[in-house]
Structure 1
Amino acid sequence: MKIGQFAKEFSVSVDTVRYYIETGLLIPEKANTQYRMNTICMEDMALINELKHYRFSLKEIHKILSLKRLTNSGNNIDMSYFSSLLMEKKQGLLEEKAQISNVIHSIDSKINREIMKEMEQDHVTMGVPLLFVPLLSCPHCQSELNLQQASILGQRIYEGSLRCSCGYQAEIKEGILFTSNLQSSPYKYSIYEIDVGKWNPDFVSIIEKGKLWMYNELLHQTLENKVILETNIEVSMMLPKYLSTLPKNTTYIFTCYSLEMIKTLKKSIEKLHPHLSVLYIVNSDLQLPLAHRSIDFFIDSTSSTQYSLIYKESPFHILKRYLKNNSCIIGNSVYYEANTKSLKKIQSLYPTPSPNAFQPNYLEKEMEEHHFKFSNKEIIGSTQNPGSYFAYHDENEKMNFLGYTARYSASE
């Protein structure tokens, strides 16, 4: 019998049969390059399936098959030996059942404790700290924004309208600043809307290494009384994990176009770090209602790379107006080698991507054109399988993950 027919007979895949052959669980005859599954293979496969049903591991099954082969017992293995194995397996399963019951009980207790903790800790939404008011300016004409119909409690703005004489408008709702002309991405980018199962865990580990690299770079900077901006946090963000280790007098701005993401982040930070001064902005195009030359640090958690998939305009061209002279960008970037299939897929899959999106020299060109100079640059890792979520990726190609630090010179 050929492998294909044999596999069908036992309702397993051909790959499974080949694996059993490679590991010695099955020993078929071989004619030239073709395996022939004989009667002994049929007997062994039936025994393998039976023992698997009894929750024996393949390693344990191999031992039983070895006894059968050493004693030449054919299909009649030593019943006393087999019975003792079954009794041991039964006892092991009973112990495992008790352990599982204990774990289920622990999980139920944990769920109940978390529910009670959530009920006991009523979350009080915080507003926009008043210290941000001097930073709020029209993104078009840079005029000071007029705050109207404001609801202010203590040192925070909870509701209000921001108006400019040129016609620009923005709103503050529940302590979150909403910019005008919000655009929805044609693709879902909030991490809560993504099937994480479509991300390769190995690639997620590379991303995490990239965040740690950025954090270590940030620790070399003077952060006291500085303003740090992190944009496009829908999929990846670095700062929130490390807030407890950074100076208490540092000021933060987070932006993204997912209201759900901003609300979740805001609630988390307010619970863990209620003393921090944070501005949350719902925005899609990086045209932020902030004064020019007001940001000391820009954290690029692949946001510039993601932005290049959606917009032709350079994110650095937009963001540099907000950066102070000698301000610092600390970031991660993704790129492919030149002339790869993945690059061609990006241009065909996305409506209006940057022509340089994910190109190997994308970051270098951007830095040079917009007066940034690298102070550090390092390959964090690479993968040929980031996961099925990345529809543009060709499985035979390498996606590279880069960490970089750059300084901005506004005078150039």
Structure 2
Amino acid sequence: MRIGAFSKKHQVTQDAVRFYLEKGLLVAHKRGEQYYFTSSDGEDLETIKMLKGLQFSLSAILELMTLKRLSGEDSALYRQKYLRHLRAQQEEAFAMRKKAESLERILHERIDEVEKEEKKDRVLGIPLEALSILACPACGEKLPLKRGDLVDHMVVEGDFLCGCGYVAKVSAGVFVYEPSVRTKMNCGRKMQTKEEFLQKSSHTYINHLYQTMGLMMERIEEVKKPLPYMMELNNCVGFFLQQYLKELREETTYILVDYDLERILQLKRNLECYAKHEKFLFLCCDYDQLPLKNQSVDLVVDFGMVRNFEKETGKCLLTPVLPLLKEEGDYVGASLYAEVKKSELRPEGKGYEENYLSEKMKAQGLQRIKESALGPAYQENPEDAFLSGKPLYQKVVHGRKSKRSVVLEAI
């Protein structure tokens, strides 16, 4: 019987038969270039399959097959050796079962822990002490709360009404300026979710972003003064916070901004379920309509939002934001840039220059403390087609607002 018919009869692949021949588990006769198999070879193959099913090692199977050919299956020598291997496998199976039982117990405990974390029954809202930094973005006066429902010293529902006519509300713990509310778009399409971004990106590019945020966290850690109020500027609201959460100082109220109410509510629900920190200020409004007092924020962390804001509005984000930063307050920013030859520069590449963020900071009077670059990395299927196939880097800059800084118009 030739190899094709033999393998088909015994329901194994021809490659498997060749492997067994190569290792000496099968010893079929060869005529010229062709192997011919007998019923005895078939019995050997069935024995091999049976031993493999018992999880015998290749060396153990070879030892038993060799001994079988030497003394036969009915010899005392073969039976003693076979029995020794069976008992060894039995002991291994017992150990594996104990290990599996231990793993099952650990997994069960971990599942219970995660499910309990998901069932946290708490609500986040505007901390009462954070009301002191709210100001009307229209006239600059203190923003009065006309009505408010409180839960654990936080405003979860309420209305703001300024004497100048500005109106906003607190809905589900979020400050909402309704004229600003809209769906977030990017490059003409609804902005992708974190899950969609993850599916389209390689682990190397995700690691590149993770390293960037790690370096930003180091720069924040170098700021030794208290940070009562910290604000994140990010096109994907809370993207930096998700990594920074464990490092967030207990005294810090973390301010999050997005005009897409659905996205900010989704982040808020996630924090309510999993975060231990309780001091957050959720603002659903535009960046040029921030309801915050001048010089109320101690640190601004910016993950690429200066460029995104300019692409969306044509304006410099630092213009409305820097007045909110305290004198000698800190700014930690990251900006993506592409490695492009001058001859290849195109209008669509504006904002992806290496010194883009540094120049914006300089123009706005921010003192540069430290600057670092990370890369290169490549982004698969970027939403901005200009970045496709280009080496990408991140510039991380730590700046500080000088006393009596003059905020300039966009450059």
In the alignment, structure 1 residue 145 sits paired with structure 2 residue 132? no
CA contact (8 A) 2:258 2:286 kept: yes
In the alignment, structure 1 residue 184 sits paired with structure 2 residue 183? yes
User: Quick one: structure 1 residues 249 and 89, their matched pair in 2 at CA, closer, same or farther if it must change by over 3 Å?
Assistant: same
In the alignment, structure 1 residue 372 sits paired with structure 2 residue 374? no
Identity among equivalent positions (%) equals 21
* SS of equivalent to 2:265: helix
- Offset at 1:164? 2.4
CA contact (8 A) 2:296 2:326 kept: yes
In the alignment, structure 1 residue 398 sits paired with structure 2 residue 391? yes
Q: Which residue among 333, 336, 342 is the counterpart of 1:334?
A: 336
- Aligned residue runs from structure 1 range 119-134, under 5 A: 121-134=119-132
Length, aligned pairs only: 352
Tell me which amino acid in the other structure corresponds to 2:162: C
**What is residue 90 of structure 2 aligned with on the other side?**
none
Tell me which amino acid in the other structure corresponds to 1:304: V
1:330-384 C-alpha deviation (Å, 9 max, x unpaired): 122101134589974x83xxxxxxx732223311221121111321111122213
Tell me which amino acid in the other structure corresponds to 1:411: S
- Aligned residue runs from structure 1 range 69-218, under 5 A: 74=34, 86-87=49-50, 89-92=52-55, 109=108, 113=112, 117=116, 121-153=119-151, 155-180=153-178, 181-187=180-186, 188-189=190-191, 191-192=193-194, 194-218=196-220
- Offset at 1:233? 5.6
Q: Which residue among 369, 377, 381 is the counterpart of 1:388?
A: 381
- Aligned residue runs from structure 1 range 25-36, under 5 A: none
In structure 1, C-alpha distance between the alignment counterparts of 2:120 and 2:391, rounded to whole Å: 47
In structure 1, C-alpha distance between the alignment counterparts of 2:17 and 2:176, rounded to whole Å: 62
TM-score where L is the length of structure 1: 0.70
Alpha-carbon RMSD across the aligned residues, in angstroms, is: 4.3
CA contact (8 A) 2:335 2:394 kept: yes
For structure 1, which runs of at least 5 residues remain unmatched after alignment? 1-42, 348-354
User: Quick one: structure 1 residues 143 and 235, their matched pair in 2 at CA, closer, same or farther if it must change by over 3 Å?
Assistant: closer
Tell me which amino acid in the other structure corresponds to 1:133: L
Tell me which amino acid in the other structure corresponds to 2:394: F
Tell me which amino acid in the other structure corresponds to 2:280: V
* SS of equivalent to 1:318: helix
User: Quick one: structure 1 residues 175 and 89, their matched pair in 2 at CA, closer, same or farther if it must change by over 3 Å?
Assistant: same
User: Quick one: structure 1 residues 122 and 251, their matched pair in 2 at CA, closer, same or farther if it must change by over 3 Å?
Assistant: closer
For structure 2, which runs of at least 5 residues remain unmatched after alignment? 57-92, 407-411
Q: Which contiguous aligned blocks of 4+ residues in structure 1 show a shift greater than 6 angstroms?
A: 50-53, 77-81, 101-108, 340-343
User: Quick one: structure 1 residues 123 and 105, their matched pair in 2 at CA, closer, same or farther if it must change by over 3 Å?
Assistant: same
User: Quick one: structure 1 residues 64 and 164, their matched pair in 2 at CA, closer, same or farther if it must change by over 3 Å?
Assistant: farther
Q: Which has the larger radius of gyration?
A: 2
1:102-138 C-alpha deviation (Å, 9 max, x unpaired): 899789957973685268x451213211111121112
In structure 2, C-alpha distance between the alignment counterparts of 1:328 and 1:230, rounded to whole Å: 12
Of stretches 101-110 and 262-271 in structure 1, the one that deviates more from structure 2 is 101-110
CA contact (8 A) 1:233 1:255 kept: no
User: Quick one: structure 1 residues 52 and 167, their matched pair in 2 at CA, closer, same or farther if it must change by over 3 Å?
Assistant: farther
Tell me which amino acid in the other structure corresponds to 1:257: Y
* SS of equivalent to 2:159: strand
User: Quick one: structure 1 residues 115 and 337, their matched pair in 2 at CA, closer, same or farther if it must change by over 3 Å?
Assistant: closer
Tell me which amino acid in the other structure corresponds to 1:317: T
CA contact (8 A) 1:383 1:398 kept: yes
CA contact (8 A) 1:299 1:329 kept: yes
* SS of equivalent to 2:239: coil
- Offset at 1:296? 1.1
In structure 2, C-alpha distance between the alignment counterparts of 1:134 and 1:228, rounded to whole Å: 15
In structure 2, C-alpha distance between the alignment counterparts of 1:185 and 1:158, rounded to whole Å: 24
- Offset at 1:293? 1.3
- Aligned residue runs from structure 1 range 286-301, under 5 A: 286-301=288-303
- Offset at 1:177? 0.8
